[in-house]
Amino acid sequence: MNILVRVLVLKALFLCLTGAAFAESLLSWNDGAAKTAIESFVKRVTDPASKDFVRPEARIAVFDNDGTLWVEQPMYTQLAFALDRVRELAPQHPEWQQNPVLKAAIDGDLKTVAAAGEKGLLELVMVTHAGMTPAEFHTVVTDWLSKAEHSRFKRKYTDLVYKPMLELLSYLRDNGFTTYIVSGGGIEFMRPWSEKVYGVLPAQVVGSSIKTRFEIVDGKPTLEREPAINFIDDGAGKPVGINMHIGQRPIAAFGNSDGDLQMLQWTTAGDGPRFGLIVHHTDAEREYAYDRTSAFGHLDKALDAAAAQGWTVVDMKSDWKTIFPPAK
């Protein structure tokens, strides 16, 4: 066999093997419009012969977290964390009983907490997330996630990630994409576990943040988390956060709620090939069914925009063979 024939055979074998691997990358996805749209887009932007070819360094994909990568009902996971923290710390702070929101959180009165809206949620974050170093907060988050269980599924929150989305993250990275999380959740709440759970490096996490100050304590440089908001990475804040942390417009965006609308708009309005996807929660039996009237993961304007803009909408009930990875 001459050298040219050997090269051609090896090339053909490589294409067969990689083609088979890519074909098996989305095993938890049913065949249908959503899966086809994803694979078609990836093929177009990775084929050097395609007019839509995108160089690898520009293949940026951004993912919301809550409701897009893991469960967000009956409340955001970080809210569950804050509620547990406020109850744990309450004995040290009798003055919290004079604050209606904090008292409601301590008493488990979620209706009052929810009625307080964003202002009430920020109060909870301030008293439960500040007054410590980032390393100390990292430990608090990690310890909580190692023990806390979801109220319905009785599994750890980091087990309640969506298997089809884990496959999608890997599929994109296998095709030269860099994947980022862009979430309204706290940036330092997600960074301790994002690499282990999603394969997303801490530096590739964009999220909301509280103010942090530098100081010298006992002769050592340290950072202290303060009880004040620095940046809210939600809604119109998401494109701003992308610009600050990533520095270039993504070519693909994945979300599930109105909080992701502007991120999808910003991403798909750029030049060249673009892809937007909405995860629509339609499976009350295996997970939850909710959209326009939900307090968490409210999906109304973004669902209408998806139809108008040609974004792909994933019907969880029909498009996903399974929701969560099997219990370990």
Query: Is pLDDT at 74 greater than 50 in this prediction?
Result: yes
Of 276, 261, 277, nearest to 314 by C-alpha is 277
Query: Which position has the token pair 């990358």?
Result: 25
% of the chain exceeding 70 in pLDDT: 93
Structure confidence by residue, pLDDT tens digits, 249-270: 999 999 999 999 999 999 999 9
DSSP H or E run through 240: helix 237-245
Average pLDDT over residues 75-93: 96
Amino acid letter, residue 92: Q
Let me know: does 274 contact 238? Beta carbons within 8 Å. no
- Between 43-52, 81-90, 119-128, 285-294, the lowest mean confidence (pLDDT) is in 119-128
The answer on pLDDT for 17 being more than 70 is no
Residue 90 · residue 106 · CB < 8 Å = yes
- The per-residue pLDDT for 10 is 38
Domains of the chain: 25-73+155-319 (3.40.50.1000), 77-147 (no CATH)
Per-residue model confidence as pLDDT tens digits over 117-143: 778 888 899 999 999 999 999 999 999
Give the strands of the sheet with 220-231, arranged side by side.
220-231, 205-217, 178-186, 60-63, 252-255, 275-280, 312-315
> How buried is residue 174: exposed, middle or buried, by Cβ count under 10 Å (0-12/13-18/19+)?
middle
Q: What is the rounded distance in angstroms from the CA atom of residue 55 to the CA atom of residue 37? A: 20
Task: Give residue-wise pLDDT tens across range 233-252.
Answer: 999 999 999 999 999 999 99
pLDDT tens-digit readout, 273-313? 999 999 999 999 999 999 999 989 999 999 999 999 999 99
pLDDT per position as a tens digit, 196-214: 999 999 999 999 999 999 9
Taking all residues of the chain, what is their mean pLDDT, rounded to a whole number? Answer: 93
C-alpha 317/C-alpha 296 separation (Å) is 19
According to the model, what pLDDT value does residue 296 have?
93
Beta strands in 178-249 (DSSP E): 178-186, 205-217, 220-231
